[in-house]
Amino acid sequence: MLAVTYIPYPSWLVPGDNTWQLTAATLVGLMSLPGIAVLYAGLVQKKWVVNTMLMAFTGFSLVLLVWILWAFNMGFGTNPIGGGGGTGIMHFFRDMVSMPHPITGAAAEQQQTSSFSQTFVPFHFPTSTFAYFQVVFAAITPLLFLGSVIGRIKFKAWLIFVPLWCTFVYAIDAFLLWGGGYLASEGAVDYSGGYVIHLSAGVAGFVAAWVIGPRLAKDKAHAVPNNLPLVAIGAGILWLGWNGFNGGDPFYAGVDAAAAVLNTNLATAAALMTWLVIDMVGSKEKKPTFLGAINGMICGLVAITPSAGWVNGLGAILVGVIASTIVWFAWNYLPKIRPFSKVDDALGVVFTHGIAGLTGGLLVGILADPRMIEYGVKGKNYAGAKSSFVSGLLYGGGFHQLWEQFRAAVWVIVFTAVMTYIILKVVKFICRGLREPDEVLAIGDLAIHEEEAYPRETFAERISSVPTRQDDRV
Amino acid sequence: MLAVTYIPYPSWLVPGDNTWQLTAATLVGLMSLPGIAVLYAGLVQKKWVVNTMLMAFTGFSLVLLVWILWAFNMGFGTNPIGGGGGTGIMHFFRDMVSMPHPITGAAAEQQQTSSFSQTFVPFHFPTSTFAYFQVVFAAITPLLFLGSVIGRIKFKAWLIFVPLWCTFVYAIDAFLLWGGGYLASEGAVDYSGGYVIHLSAGVAGFVAAWVIGPRLAKDKAHAVPNNLPLVAIGAGILWLGWNGFNGGDPFYAGVDAAAAVLNTNLATAAALMTWLVIDMVGSKEKKPTFLGAINGMICGLVAITPSAGWVNGLGAILVGVIASTIVWFAWNYLPKIRPFSKVDDALGVVFTHGIAGLTGGLLVGILADPRMIEYGVKGKNYAGAKSSFVSGLLYGGGFHQLWEQFRAAVWVIVFTAVMTYIILKVVKFICRGLREPDEVLAIGDLAIHEEEAYPRETFAERISSVPTRQDDRV
Amino acid sequence: MLAVTYIPYPSWLVPGDNTWQLTAATLVGLMSLPGIAVLYAGLVQKKWVVNTMLMAFTGFSLVLLVWILWAFNMGFGTNPIGGGGGTGIMHFFRDMVSMPHPITGAAAEQQQTSSFSQTFVPFHFPTSTFAYFQVVFAAITPLLFLGSVIGRIKFKAWLIFVPLWCTFVYAIDAFLLWGGGYLASEGAVDYSGGYVIHLSAGVAGFVAAWVIGPRLAKDKAHAVPNNLPLVAIGAGILWLGWNGFNGGDPFYAGVDAAAAVLNTNLATAAALMTWLVIDMVGSKEKKPTFLGAINGMICGLVAITPSAGWVNGLGAILVGVIASTIVWFAWNYLPKIRPFSKVDDALGVVFTHGIAGLTGGLLVGILADPRMIEYGVKGKNYAGAKSSFVSGLLYGGGFHQLWEQFRAAVWVIVFTAVMTYIILKVVKFICRGLREPDEVLAIGDLAIHEEEAYPRETFAERISSVPTRQDDRV
Amino acid sequence: MKLVTAIIKPFKLDDVKDALKQIGIQGLTITEAQGFGRQGGHTEVYRGAEYSIDLVPKIRIELVVDDSTVDNVIETILNSAKTGKIGDGKIWSTPVDEMIRIRTSERGSDAL
Amino acid sequence: MKLVTAIIKPFKLDDVKDALKQIGIQGLTITEAQGFGRQGGHTEVYRGAEYSIDLVPKIRIELVVDDSTVDNVIETILNSAKTGKIGDGKIWSTPVDEMIRIRTSERGSDAL
Amino acid sequence: MKLVTAIIKPFKLDDVKDALKQIGIQGLTITEAQGFGRQGGHTEVYRGAEYSIDLVPKIRIELVVDDSTVDNVIETILNSAKTGKIGDGKIWSTPVDEMIRIRTSERGSDAL
Ligand SMILES: Nc1ncnc2c1ncn2[C@@H]1O[C@H](COP(=O)(O)OP(=O)(O)O)[C@@H](O)[C@H]1O
Ligand SMILES: Nc1ncnc2c1ncn2[C@@H]1O[C@H](COP(=O)(O)OP(=O)(O)O)[C@@H](O)[C@H]1O
Ligand SMILES: Nc1ncnc2c1ncn2[C@@H]1O[C@H](COP(=O)(O)OP(=O)(O)O)[C@@H](O)[C@H]1O
């Protein structure tokens, strides 16, 4: 390799790492588009397919712009607004984010990435790579909680809600847990977003469903999905795309990335089979269902997210089994009690993302194996001092990590809930309401977009726009 | 890394670069299959779905064979047919391509790639990688203009048209702009194919639609799409696949690849939102539409293609906004005037690819930022002399680049139009006509392929082929 | 690159290789989910869509667990059960597998991978990477033969059949041909699984279809597919995913990986066009069909699998043309004669995988070009002694390789057939039958899963589970 | 006997079915239909082109009833299908010569 | 002339069609329908929520026949559509005033 | 009153609908149907296996009209649906006892 005659890289760049990071980011992007867009499109009623897909595409686009124009630097900048000083509660409130500013300049795009948290591990790729990897995470989060509010949220309200939420909830949680903020510095960890993304999406979705109010009673009572193969397409892309989601989070194409990928798949397989088996022995019908299996799959993916590279293979399987079991019971029993019985979380995001993410986040405190090393590794280049690992209760870490995970969970739940509520009130004010009127809801896509998911050509007659040529052959 | 004990690479190979290039190529391949195949399948009338998909699959296959058997070396060979000498107009016409020959031998597949243009930047992967990366670009081009001619082109004519077009249009434009030919040597640039692919596809599609004639008047008047989720699947794969399309074009997994990926996403998000907003405020219905958003998305992807790694982030956003706006107005007003009112470009390829590609190509001359460096970069390995960058009007480059971009555009438009016309006349002669007969067109897929997109089992009775066993249980 | 200041890798790890291997594995995973799941879902009758998809998702999950818990070490462990000694027939039967044990521990996941066969080529990534790459191959195999048994196999029988088959057939063949077992040591080769995966899947599917018995006569006679665009999605993902399937098998992101990718695409394009042309000139209807083209495509992908990096480009094209032609005739004529006329291999897996895999495997013995080098390559790092290449009959290798390929094929066919038969008898005993009862088969998805693929909301009335709120707005 | 045919709004189907069950109707057949009438259709816009769909989705209910029940059935449908808005649909009845249950070959009222 | 309408189980369509062809019937029209009757519907479960579908898929056959053929046609449908299980469906006939073939404007029996 | 039922070729729907509008028809109901008749069906080939589809797609139009309009309506459909090729379809009319508009409970001609 040394004989390579022309080296077009700056000295800090490693092409293998850059490739992995860009590939992983692309996989995560695919999880949103077309992944979540069609997974949700398949799950909603036929009359909501177009609306659901368009909210997914616009949500993704809006976060991209917001992120690059200001929010990336809020979460991953080098310059905490409070200056980075202070301790305890001061530290916490003074430094909830870094200074917002765009990364659209030539220098910003091309220089080696660094964030407030990267004091000891320099990443070997430019800011463009890092920001793009981070933005696909930021963008999938609103798409996840979209599942809670479909079937009644006003389209314009969505277009305003997403940028505000990304700025005032996501960027802050990202800074606190990943960007070097208080929670991170205290020791709470979140490998790839069990809290920042999934728990937060579950809570935001639940609160939003509550604030916006339920779907039409008729829609709720007839809420059959419209297309299961579409769900399969989305689900398959989610599963394999998650290799990038979790595999990309060491930010090195090293040993831990590989372990994270393997563990993600183990947890997911275990969770899918767990839900299936409980369905077969424990549900009223005692039948295996496809959508049940997919629910289980999602639980596994979500629950392993906070710990993917910090548990060993056995831990990963346990995470899958435990999370799937807990969410199965939550899914089947919680809707009967308050507040769940009062809130119409249409696709159940609070369960498959909220509770699964919470379960996974707490399990880090129990199952993390300190021999799983994120950066430093045994061997010739062993970097003991800079090694990054986590010890759970079962591996001699005591209750410390569990406590940190618990505190972080409380923060994410409370902060997300409160801020989501406030933001929605603001959006409601701006948009004069958060819901489409009932007569629009009764119709769905056709009323909002004048499009339907599966148009029937037989009954359509073109009336305007491009004139039909007179001389067309018939 | 130095401790690696066994090195199975030749000295010129960098595994990170090779990986990135193969990954990028695979992403671009996915844009065609299933990307374009299902995007278009969703947009056409139900009776044309099978025909559209089969043209996509066969078009892709034919280009693959043509490319490896002769056309790759025409575009990217080391040996211009005129010997590479001459200046000005002589240079131009003597050296429009390199000598055609196959790259199917063991030596050709395995050696370090090099082309006539690579005098200063050696790529760190073999010819197999380079040829494969280039062929997925060559293959998507006919698939794009397929959108102009669906619903009437004779299937056999398609099978002959594609290889001829690839040979006599694509390979030549590729040589002139990328392979070291005249336009490139004069300074015209095309980062990933805004001209070679998109402008050319738009022009070819438009000319072909004109030569072949319009669809049946009835089909044109009832041209409702059949499946919007299918469009979403194709669109999502296109967007994220474009990370490989533009990210692969520095041919190094370096800084500029990352910037190109980020810029591509920025332009696309901006373009999608631009079209959506114009639809909401400027269209007759004042409604946001899903297919409008997808049109905007494609405009962004196409328009950023010629400049992805040469503009900064702000430039990328501008490219998206400008291209989407221009194409929106073109889409809504040009069909009313000649020649657009006379030509049935079924899916509007001339707009979303032709005009968007042209806009993006010219914007290079305005927005290219010389601080965006394709190969050489600041830092320890800064290779000043070999740096590759472009200066637009707004960044001190004067009108030079704009003029070169303009000249190249004129060439691509005129040459593609004339050659496409000639090739179609030849194909018409060979196939005795370019259109399926009207009674076949009235039926569509069933008449041409005896298949339909969504068969109904209830009414089918097997009559032949494999005999049904007598002893089957009922 | 040397200036990189922080190296978080062990000395044996190359990030470019690790990235390629993880990316390739992800592509192969996508071939199963959603690839095969939706390809098959589109091909079956509407009433079997959900069942087919759920068997794909569960089959994939089960193999993942089985593989990591014991089977990976059976196929790719370092410790043959017989101790690795003995010669000839002794060698063969004593060492059919390595010792089964899990790889779920922290050490196992993170250490450099090694298998019994890797005496001279150390791979530059951890066991997690290698095991994950191998498991996506192991997992797709049952999904392939699922196509033979859909429409009657008992769902529970599937859940038991898959783990047993993976353990007692797949792991053994993998060891014998890839893990350093007898067939490999004698010289038989299988680049990416033409035998271990495709031939074996074809045989297993055929035997299983025979043992389980045919579908209902009515289903067989009305076996029209339900959704061709779904087939297109699956097919496109298969094709491009195969870049990882074959490109990943040198286990280095080097020259041969690139050649394997290019050859795979060449063979596939040639095979698709071959089937199409034979359909156009040789079928009763003389029409090009989409599903015919897809059959041809699969033949090409499968047939190039055993030789992808050992033939040159011309060889690859020949493989595609020959395999597609042979399978076309087999597909159209063999079903008329025994035993094919007696066995209801629903989707024809024995043809497109079995016969195509066999053809490709034998062609290695004819077309392998010794100048195609898997590991050692010319240049500064040329490792002559450790080079890995194969010589076929046409390239001076005589009949040796052909004979080895033939012997290996005989083994795979006989062993797979016998073991599949035995396993099914065991499963039949455990599950009290292998078939769903006929009244269940008459209904399909709704009877087995209480779900249907495309539910119609109009006629559904929610009756239980989550109570509808009384206070919902209407 | 009479064949009563009713064209109703799709979302009223459950109500009508329940109401008919209440008065003892044991069977009916429905088909999905498209109606053209005073109720306007709608416009769909695909890629900027407007299409007019002047047909609206309807459910068509058919049931054969004894002469004695006709009025009650019609009344019941009228009440349960009415929203008072344009497009509520129509009911018509036609004479039936013969009614047979396939399973038993019973004829007339026994076949209902 | 009479209009014979038959509601049958979908998988019986081929048999009925063949039987009618045998007795010389040259034309008929079918629509996909949903029946409600003694035959129970089924339950579907999506993500744990149960939905009751009390309508079962049926095929609706319509054919206009000469008065002289009615009985034979009914008999033929009865025989070919019967499985003996609940839900086999119904046949009814109604009087027809006029029957015209669009292509030729022929009326009455000539139009069949 | 009469119920006029017409079976036509799908691509003729627009023409027929327009023609009926012209003569003042204000409402009708259509269903998608499949016809079996002199017009041959077609073959479909999936993966080499041939399937015979002897049913062809048709549109079924139903409209209840006043006795006085029947002839005009039939004539109009005849003219607008005719292509002269086999498979153009049929028109038949049957007597109607009662016609009611659900919205207003109007009966008879008022309900049209
Ligand atoms: N003359 C008719 N014959 C058959 N069906 C009719 C007739 N007129 C209306 N319909 C059906 O009744 C539906 C409702 O009619 P419409 O005129 O829209 O409203 P309304 O009945 O409330 O006045 C139509 O969509 C159509 O399906
Ligand atoms: N009174 C009726 N009018 C019209 N269709 C009816 C009537 N009763 C039943 N049907 C049709 O006949 C089908 C079979 O009726 P059902 O009561 O289930 O079984 P069976 O006719 O064997 O007693 C129903 O699904 C429905 O489509
Ligand atoms: N006796 C009949 N009763 C009801 N519908 C019929 C009858 N005969 C034909 N049809 C319908 O009319 C359509 C056209 O009939 P066909 O015999 O194909 O052509 P034509 O009416 O031009 O002779 C058929 O597809 C079928 O839907």
pLDDT digits (tens, 9 = 90+) for B16-69: 999 999 999 999 999 999 999 999 999 999 999 999 999 999 999 999 999 999
Residue B1 reports pLDDT greater than 80: no
Give the CA angle between residues A405, A77, A178 to the nearest 5°: 15
Tell me the two tokens of residue A55: 């909210």
Given the DSSP bridges, would you call strands E49-53 and E42-46 parallel, antiparallel or unpaired? antiparallel
Average pLDDT over residues C365-372: 96
Q: Subunits touching B (CB < 8 Å, at least 3 pairs)? A: A, C, D, E, F
Cβ–Cβ under 8 Å, residues C15 and A20: yes
Task: Name the DSSP letter for residue F6.
Answer: E
Interface contact flag, C458 D13, Cβ < 8 Å? yes
Ligand 1 atom index nearest CA of F3: 3
Tokens 């016609």, residue? F99
> Which of chain F's residues have a Cβ under 8 Å away from the Cβ of E101?
88-90
Residues B104 and C312 sit within 8 Å (Cβ to Cβ): yes
Q: How many CA atoms lie within 13 A of B116 on its CB side?
A: 30
For residue F102, what are the contacts with CB-CB under 8 A and spacing of at least 6? D6, D8, D77, D78, D81, D82, D88, D89, D90, D91
Tokens matching residue C114: 């090694």
- Ligand 3 centroid–CA F93 distance in Å is 15
Chains sharing 3 or more CB pairs under 8 A with chain E: A, B, C, D, F
CB B291 within 8 Å of CB B228: yes
- The amino acid occupying position D103 is R
Vertex A28: Cα angle to A26 and A29 (nearest 5): 60
DSSP 8-state code for residue D44: E
Percent of chain A with pLDDT over 70: 93
How confident is the model over B188-202, as a mean pLDDT? 97
**Which of B8, B25, B462 is nearest residue C254 as measured by Cβ atoms?**
B8
E99 alpha carbon, closest ligand: 3
Question: Cα separation of C313 and C305, whole Å?
Answer: 14
Determine contact, residues B234/B32, Cβ cutoff 8 Å: no
Give the 3-state secondary structure of residue C177.
helix
Ligand 1 centroid to residue F63 C-alpha, Å: 9
pLDDT tens, position by position, A304-344? 999 999 999 999 999 999 999 999 999 999 999 999 999 99
What's the C92 CA to ligand 2 centre distance in angstroms? 67
- Across the range A79-86, mean pLDDT stands at 79
Q: So what's the pLDDT on residue A385? A: 54
| Structural contact between residues B236 and A30, judged by C-beta atoms closer than 8 angstroms | yes
Instruction: Provide the pLDDT for residue A287.
Output: 97
Q: Do A10 and B381 lie within an 8 Å CB cutoff?
A: yes
Structure tokens at F29: 């109901």
Interface of A with C in 407-466 (CB under 8 A): 438
Q: What are C45-66's pLDDT values in tens digits?
A: 999 999 999 999 999 999 999 9
A455/D44 Cβ within 8 A: yes
A367: number of CA atoms within 13 Å, CB side?
Answer: 29
C-alpha to C-alpha distance for C210 and C342, rounded to whole angstroms: 8
Residue F8 Cα to ligand 1 middle (Å): 20
C179 has a pLDDT exceeding 80: yes
pLDDT digits (tens, 9 = 90+) for B210-264: 999 999 999 999 999 999 999 999 999 999 999 999 999 999 999 999 999 999 9
* Amino acid B79: pLDDT: 86
- Of the listed ligands, the closest to the CA of E64 is 3
pLDDT at B5 over 70: no
C119-133, C426-440, D87-101, range with the lowest pLDDT: C119-133
Ligand 3 mean position, distance from CA C362 (Å): 57
Helix (H) or strand (E) holding C182: helix C182-186
Report whether pLDDT(A262) > 50: yes
- What is the model's pLDDT at position C471? 44
Task: Report the length, in residues, of chain F.
Answer: 112
Q: For residue E51, what is the enclosing H or E element?
A: strand E49-53
- The reply to whether residue D51 touches residue A451, judged by beta carbons under 8 angstroms, is no
DSSP label of F107? B
**CB distance F91 to ligand 3 below 6 Å:** no
Greatest pairwise CA separation for chain E in angstroms: 58
Residues whose CB is less than 8 angstroms from the CB of residue D9 and which lie 6 or more positions away in sequence, other chains included: D58, D59, D81, D83, D87, D88, D89
Is F74 strand, coil or helix?
A: helix
Best of D53, D76, D92, D96 to substitute, by most chain F Cβ atoms within 10 angstroms, is: D92
Whether cis (ω within 30° of 0) applies to the bond prior to C467 is no
pLDDT single digits (tens) C332-362: 999 999 999 999 999 999 999 999 999 999 9
The residue among A376 and C67 whose pLDDT is bigger is C67
3-state secondary structure (DSSP) of residue E6: strand
What letter would DSSP give residue D90? E
Closest CA to B313 of D61, A128, C53, A79: A128
CA of B226 relative to ligand 3 center, distance in Å: 29
pLDDT digits (tens, 9 = 90+) for B408-430: 999 999 999 999 999 999 999 99
Which one of F11, F48, F51 has the shortest CB-CB distance to B460? F51
For A361-413, write each residue's pLDDT tens digit: 999 999 999 999 888 655 544 555 556 889 999 999 899 999 999 999 999 99
Ligand 2 pocket, residues with Cβ under 6 angstroms: D 27-29, 62-64, 101, 103, 112; E 7, 35-39, 56, 58, 86-90
- The binding-site residues of ligand 1, defined as CB within 6 angstroms of any ligand atom, are D 7, 35-39, 56, 58, 86-90; F 27-29, 62-64, 101, 103, 112
What's the gap in Å between C423 CA and the centre of ligand 1? 63
What 3 state SS string does chain A have? CCCCCCCCCCCCCCHHHHHHHHHHHHHHHHHHHHHHHHHHHHHCCHHHHHHHHHHHHHHHHHHHHHHHHHHHHHHHCCCECCCCCCCHHHHHHHCCCECCCCCCCHHHHHCECCCCCCCCCCCCCEHHHHHHHHHHHHHHHHHHHHHHHCCCECHHHHHHHHHHHHHHHHHHHHHHHCCCCHHHHHCCCCCCCHHHHHHHHHHHHHHHHHHHCCCCHHHHHCCCCCCHHHHHHHHHHHHHHHHHHHHCCCCCCCHHHHHHHHHHHHHHHHHHHHHHHHHHHHCCCCCCCHHHHHHHHHHHHHHHCCCCCCCCHHHHHHHHHHHHHHHHHHHHHHHHCCCHHHCCCCCCHHHHHHHHHHHHHHHHHHHCCCCCCCCCCCCCCCCHHHCCCCCCHHHCCCCHHHHHHHHHHHHHHHHHHHHHHHHHHHHHHHHCCCECCHHHHHHCHHHHHCCCCCCCHHHCEECCCCCCCCCCCC
Predicted pLDDT of residue C470: 45
Q: B249-303 pLDDT, tens per residue? A: 999 999 999 999 999 999 999 999 999 999 999 999 999 999 999 999 999 999 9
DSSP lists the bridge partners of residue D34 as D57, F30
Minimal-distance CA residue of chain F relative to E96: F94
**B431 and B157 in contact (C-beta within 8 Å)?**
yes
> C372 CB contacts (<8 Å, ≥6 apart)?
B106, B109, B110, C256, C259, C309, C310, C311, C312, C389, C390
Q: Are B152 and B209 in contact (CB under 8 A)?
A: no
Provide the shortest C-alpha distance from residue E107 to chain F (in Å).
9
Chain C residues near residue E42 by CB distance under 8 angstroms: 446, 450
How many angstroms does the Cα of residue E98 sit away from the middle of ligand 3? 14
Q: What is the pLDDT of residues C275-313, one digit of tens each?
A: 999 999 999 999 999 999 999 999 999 999 999 999 999
Q: Do F91 and E99 touch (CB under 8 A)?
A: yes
Predicted pLDDT at B385: 54
What is the average pLDDT across C408-417?
A: 98
Alpha carbon distance A30, A26 (integer Å): 6
Residue F42 bridge partners (DSSP): F53
Q: Which of E43, E46, E48 shows the shortest C-beta gap to A332?
A: E48
What distance, in Å, lies between the first and last C-alpha atoms of chain D? 10
Q: Nearest CA of chain D to the CA of A430: how many Å?
A: 28
Residue type, A340: F
Q: How confident is the model at residue A417 (pLDDT cuts 50, 70, 90)?
A: very high
Q: b/e map of F27-59 (b: 16 or more CB within 10 Å)?
A: bbbbbbbbbbbebebebbbbbbbbbbbbbbebb
**Are B325 and B303 a contacting pair, CB within 8 Å?**
no
Q: How many angstroms separate the Cα of A9 from the Cα of each of A15, A106, A227, B253, B355?
A: 8, 16, 48, 9, 35
In chain C the first and final C-alpha atoms are separated, in Å, by 65
Closest alpha carbon within chain D to B44? D46
Torsion angle of C-alpha atoms C259, C263, C265, C269, degrees rounded to 10: 160
Among A51, A109, A146, A159, the strongest candidate for a mutation testing the B interface, having the largest count of B CBs within 10 A, is A109
What integer pLDDT is reported at residue A86 of this predicted model?
67
- Option in D11, D34, D44 nearest A452 (CB): D44
SS3 E7: strand
Pairwise CB contact (< 8 Å): C459 & E11: no
Q: Which two tokens stand for residue A426?
A: 């603001």
Cα separation, E46 vs E48, in Å, equals: 5
Tell me the Cα Rg of chain C: 23
Q: How confident is the model at residue B206 (pLDDT cuts 50, 70, 90)?
A: very high
- Mean pLDDT value across residues C22-42: 98
> Smallest CA–CA separation between A20 and chain F, in Å?
40
Give the model's confidence band at A1: pLDDT under 50 very low, under 70 low, under 90 confident, else very high.
very low
Between residues D109 and B156, the one the model is more confident about: B156
E30 lines ligand 3 (CB under 6 A): no
Residue B315 has pLDDT above 70, yes or no: yes
Contact residues, E window 53-92, toward F, CB-based 8 Å cutoff: 64
Confidence of residue C35 (pLDDT cuts 50, 70, 90): very high
Q: Where does the pLDDT of residue A468 fall: very low under 50, low under 70, confident under 90, or very high at 90 and above? A: very low
Sheet holding B461-462, edge to edge: B461-462, F49-53, F42-46
Predicted local confidence at residue C4, as pLDDT: 53
Residues from chain F contacting residue D60 (CB–CB below 8 Å): 29, 31
Q: How many residues does the structure list for chain B? A: 474
Of A224, A331, A332, the CB nearest to E51: A224
Question: So what's the pLDDT on residue A458?
Answer: 75
Nearest by CB to residue B348, choosing from D44, D47, D50, is: D47
Listed residue (E85, E93, E91, E92) closest to E38, CA to CA: E85
Residue for token pair 């760190």: B124
Q: Is B379 left (phi over 0), alpha (psi -120 to 50) or beta?
A: left
- Per the prediction, chain B carries an average pLDDT of 92
